[in-house]
Amino acid sequence: MNSIDIHHIFEHLHHRYPFLLIDRVLDYTVGESLVAIKNVTYNEPFFQGHFPHRPIMPGVLIIEAMAQATGILAFKTVDTQPDEDSLYYLVGVDNARFKQPVSPGDQLLIEVKLLRTTRGVWKYAATTKVDGKLVASADLMCMKRDIPT
């Protein structure tokens, strides 16, 4: 089993608090798939306004968590780490669906599968579950781009 702890996640993603949304990678297969977790806690800043009377994790952040998982898989697949001269961007989201709300105390199980790469664009199928129940799914497209100087 190929797991990655938070210290190695820092090596594969530029994201930091409050925007790092992957806590651990449970398993991955280079060039194929990755399974990660995100522990959802009440003290996350977005819960102050979404919604104070019934805190729910915003769907766009669930999509972002799935996109961050794709970034780790991409860097593992090409056997490199991000550098200061480029960024790995989310460039498209298709077929996004949200099946049930995510609340504090939930643990997201994020699964991403690499479908193909074409002209530098990586396409993935992504799902997120809580307690074995599907909460979100989407097809994501990402690519690495140089940062203009």
- Tell me the catalytic residues: 50
Whether residue 18 has a cis bond before it, omega within 30° of 0: yes
Closest alpha carbon to 70 in 130, 125, 7: 125
User: Taking a C-beta distance cutoff of 8 angstroms, is the pair 50, 58 a contact?
Assistant: yes
Pairing of strands 33-39, 24-29: antiparallel
- What type of residue sits at position 136? A
Judged by DSSP in three states, 138 sits in strand
Containing H/E element for 93?
strand 86-98
